[in-house]
Structure 1
Amino acid sequence: MTKRAVLALADGTTFEGRAFGATCELVGEVVFNTSMFGYQEILTDPSYVGQIVTMAYPEMGNVGANPEDEEAGQPHAVGMAVRSLTPQASNWRSKESLDAYLKRHGRAGIEGVDTRRLVRHLRTHGAQMGVISSDGHSAAALVERARTAPGMEGMDLATGVSTKTPYVFTTPSPDVFRSPNDPRPTPELRFDVVAYDYGLKRSMLQYLVDEGCRVTVVPSNTTAEEVLARKPHGVFLANGPGDPAAVKGADRTVAALLGKVPVFGICLGHQIMALALGGRTYKMKFGHRGANQPVKDLTTGKVEITAQNHGFAVDDASLKGKAVVTHINLNDGTVEGLAVPDARAFSVQYHPEASPGPHDARYLFARFAKLMAG
């Protein structure tokens, strides 16, 4: 039996639908993602901490859920809004339905929503706080709860999701289509890399291992002195949620590392590197979330179709004379990549490990390995 659910936004707009997943009331920033698939990777990406994800593509749930596609051990998004939920998965890798998966993890979903209208509303009025509820509360009460909820600006969410203790990661990317009797050759681990966990995705670590890295993952508040004492070949700055300027001490730490060892940053790591160079970041109106963002590499002239998930961006004017802008977003001209050749450091705003388009951005991990090789 279906249960009525309501999605209420802070600006007073409400959407009615049917509850799936956990039947409860959860608050989060309502954002939209334009990907056609990959909803499990999206839900488990730590960058979505505290957010309710609206999927622009109408059909969701058709491939179910499985452990191999998780970017973390649990969903980090608090909720999900979809147009049409498929109750029965039709994928050979599926272990459970999307409904059961969210229910098991205590995350709320709402289906039957006019997601086209919702996406257009967020695009026009901006991402904002909202509430998913199936508890029968009035729309006015839910709107008031959304209105009084704290927003993402000024929130240090990265520290909260970061690992509390260092650990070593040496597992390469899985090949689910390869026979267990014919395993992929194990990479030779030539480099020792320290990865700052601001909310990293598992696939990023796997790509580093594929390039021959033994990765030591450290908490976000680890000092530069502690990292340099490990004598790493390079330092990786991971993705993560929230406001980059609010991550305690991260800019000063990265500033102390630049020029000492090669540094590679992705997403939040890219933004923190910009702050370490003396640049600025700002909150975007609705951000970039999806697997179809066009990015131009200014060094080659090539255009990449990229996967992205961020609500903050780097102010290019603040980096004049401090870094070279290497990539730009072709939709809005925002900064998508930086390089500091003298410091052997570079970063990208998008997620190269997701490889959504015909051009596999794995080459960026190979570029990092080349820097470490000298």
Structure 2
Amino acid sequence: MSSPRVYLHALGMVNALGSGLDEIVRGLASGIAPGMGHASLGGAQGAFVGRVTAALELAPPAHLARYDCRNNRLLLAALAQIEPAVQAACARYGAGRVGVVLGTSTSGVGAGEAHFLPQASEVANAGNAPFDYVQMEIGSAAPFAAAALGLAGPAFTISTACTSSGKAFASARRLIHQGFCDAVVVGGVDSLCELTVRGFAALESTSVVRTNPMSANRAGINVGEAAAVFLMSRDEGPVALVGAGESSDAHHISAPDPSGAGGELALRAALRDAGIAPESIGYVNLHATATRKNDEMEARLMARVFPHGVPTSGTKPLTGHTLGAAGATELGFAWLTLARDDVPLPRHLWDGEADPELPRLDLIEDARYLAAGRYVMSNSFAFGGSNVSLVLGR
């Protein structure tokens, strides 16, 4: 039996495609992402990344100045886009009944790098820039957002690597189902930093050119940064979160189970929770990192869950892999196909050279729109075998 529905009423986004839904929709349609390209990050010279190019001029209010860092400015840019809906929820339910659940994996680590690297290099006047450890404390994102918005409900941060913000939706829904909240600000945020770029490079998981998911020539990820936030409540709206499935296969600290068995459990749990058959899904946003092992695993499990095929795409060539923000960002793209009639299914950008060792998926390379009555799915998989799948419906 499916769980009582909750609805996603408003969406704020900022990523390599742009800031705000209209700009991002145009980028999705054109396949042009201004923030994708080579950039220098401290000692990581020439990395190909997904950078937010929009000006992040919105600073925390004075009483939260100690939180000021790029990660939190990304978050504020996304929150500003949904603040009217959040304040309306506060007026209706009271600030104590509106919670915050966010995912992140880096928080403000970049702020710590900027502060301490000059000291390590013995640069004159090093360490004079304002810095507070709270800027990079992983758990600070949700409490900061709650304080910035004046919310007094439960506020906590989830950090499960690349499933962080996907799992945030399952957690936020539980807060509503169990009566702790009437509405929840839910999503994720992550900012670029040298730690993650160098870390993934050390794992030989990064590509020096634009990422190429599901291709025989795939060579790894482009690390990206983004923020994506929704307002969730049980009040009826155009788009509902109808299913969520989570699993943990713990196959390896960084490599996925090659069979995709754990990921398949999450997909089937989401479908079961939604009370629908695989044939009801009209689009799947793939995790599609373009690493050798992730794409192999995901292609195999998709072929088993959807033996008759389903339109799919991996959107990381347009944003980079935004790590803790990936689940919410990619669910946002799926949400747009339901919430707006002018949004086609996101295209799969790649070189078109299919890997003969993988099951062939229905990758979207032309203009298509979601068929009437269909649902959409978004998948996220992470280090340590953490898996989550979410299903949205009109």
Q: Check whether TM > 0.5.
A: no
Q: Considering Cα pairs closer than 8 Å and 6+ residues apart, tell me whether 1 or 2 has the greater RCO.
A: 2
Using structure 2 for the length normalisation, give the TM-score.
0.30
Using structure 1 for the length normalisation, give the TM-score.
0.31
Determine which structure has the larger strand proportion and give its number: 1
